[in-house]
Amino acid sequence: MDTSALADLAFDPLDPVALTQALVRCASVTPHEGGALALIDAVLSPAGYRVERPVFGEPGTPDVENLYARIGTQAPVFVIAGHTDVVPVGDAAAWTRDPFSGAVEGGLLHGRGACDMKGGLAAMMAAALRFRRDNPQAPGSIAFLITGDEEGPAINGTAKLLAWAHERGERFDHCLLGEPTNPAAMSDMIKIGRRGSLTGELVVHGKQGHVGYPHLAENPIRGMVRLLAALDAEPLDGGTPYFDASNLEFTTVDVGNPASNVVPAQARAVFNIRFNDIWTPDTLAQELERRLAQAAGNSVRYVLTCKPTNAVAFLTQPGPFVAMVADAVEAQTGQRPALSTTGGTSDARFIKSYCPVVEYGVVGQTMHQVNECVAVADLLTLEAITHRLLTAYFEAPAAPDPQ
């Protein structure tokens, strides 16, 4: 490691708190890079990493800058993944501090992205830097896979970065994604999979008319009520050993009718399903269509549209790598974390096609909220856990995980 080059930085990059502060001060609201990837480049390049920052785009979407860095040339390749983009701050006047200040007060580091997920990324970077400083001859390689498009449409980010790296011959053995997985304490939870997400739009067609002459109209609301009841009548499944039951939630029902004496022409409903690994988007859409067709019979005219999705359910089967992560958490915190697949989607859904991936990060209670913050103690704990994991991994690389 070229420590003289690192000395040019205004902070110690091996300090996860200082590194988090520096990243939070970069206003990298999706899709803007905001200086965050440039900062990471300035930290990793002097430490011996080969850093590349490809920009991806396609018509109708904003161009997004990403970062790939690697030190070492041999297997195994341990990947640390994450994102530097953050959600908008909303009403800045509602914040008690500048959302991009990175201020540390009362044991908390404040700012947009402190929790999700610049704090997690900074702690893991600091751990990787410390590990390579102390173990310059360690076998294998460490790589960073960082996007600026996780909080946005996730089109020009991790999915394309993975394909770009693969085309260049990069091969990965295991990945740790630093999303804020812990509900309340750093010993709580490792995520070994994620549910899929499918959004559907249901339109029921009727015939507009006067409410005083119902025989001349066809009210779509009655049909909509029948179809919604059919979708919700029976559970989609009972869950699996590692997944809760799939869950359907209606998010809007609209007729767009301002008049109380007019039968509307159509009714529209939107729903979202978070589904487990029993289903694929295609088989789930088929089940929805079956339920609707049975309930509609010949009397309800409807159209179901399931939106394209890249969020499919997946599971990293518990095995040596999952156990190694759990061991590191337990060794540092004194408690063994639960293995979970709860929550929303993450970029792990893309990474899982290239190597086994698990997620572990800081406590996520304030992510996306006004006055987002992370505990300084949690950053230090995550840095120590990651260092333990890297030490164990490169001393005895994880055996092949179950498929």
Here the tokens at position 148 are 């600026």
| Strands annotated E in 102-246 | 104-105, 108-110, 141-147, 174-177, 189-191, 193-194, 196-205, 209-210
Which of these three, 306, 341, 371, is where a domain ends? 306
* Domain finish residue from 272, 287, 306: 306
Distance separating alpha carbons of residues 140 and 149, to the nearest angstrom = 28
| Tokens (6 digits) for 34 | 């905001």
Q: What pTM value is reported for the model?
A: 0.90
Of 287, 306, 325, the one marking the end of a domain is 306
Q: Which residues are catalytic?
A: 85, 150
For the chain, how many structural domains are there in total?
2
Sole residue written with tokens 């085309």? 167
Crossing angle for the helix pair 119-134 and 16-24, to the nearest 10 degrees: 140
pLDDT in tens, the chain (403 residues): 444 444 568 899 999 999 999 999 999 999 999 999 999 999 999 999 999 999 999 999 999 999 999 999 999 999 999 999 999 999 999 999 999 999 999 999 999 999 999 999 999 999 999 999 999 989 999 999 999 999 988 899 999 999 999 999 999 999 999 999 999 999 999 999 999 999 999 999 999 999 999 999 999 999 999 999 999 999 999 999 999 999 999 999 999 999 999 999 999 999 999 999 999 999 999 999 999 999 999 999 999 999 999 899 999 999 999 999 999 999 999 999 999 999 888 999 999 999 999 999 999 999 999 999 999 999 999 999 999 999 999 996 555 666 5
Please give the structure tokens belonging to residue 94.
């509602």
Domain match, 218 and 285 both: yes
CATH number at residue 126: 3.40.630.10
**203 and 162 co-located in one domain:** no
Query: Which residue range is the domain that position 385 belongs to?
Result: 3-194+313-395
The residues near 73 (Cβ < 8 Å, ≥ 6 apart) are 141
Please tell me whether residues 184 and 321 are part of one structural domain. yes
pLDDT at 18: 98
Cβ contacts of residue 319 below 8 Å, gap of 6+?
356, 398, 399, 400, 401, 402
Residue 135 domain-assigned (yes or no):
yes
Amino acid 344: pLDDT: 87
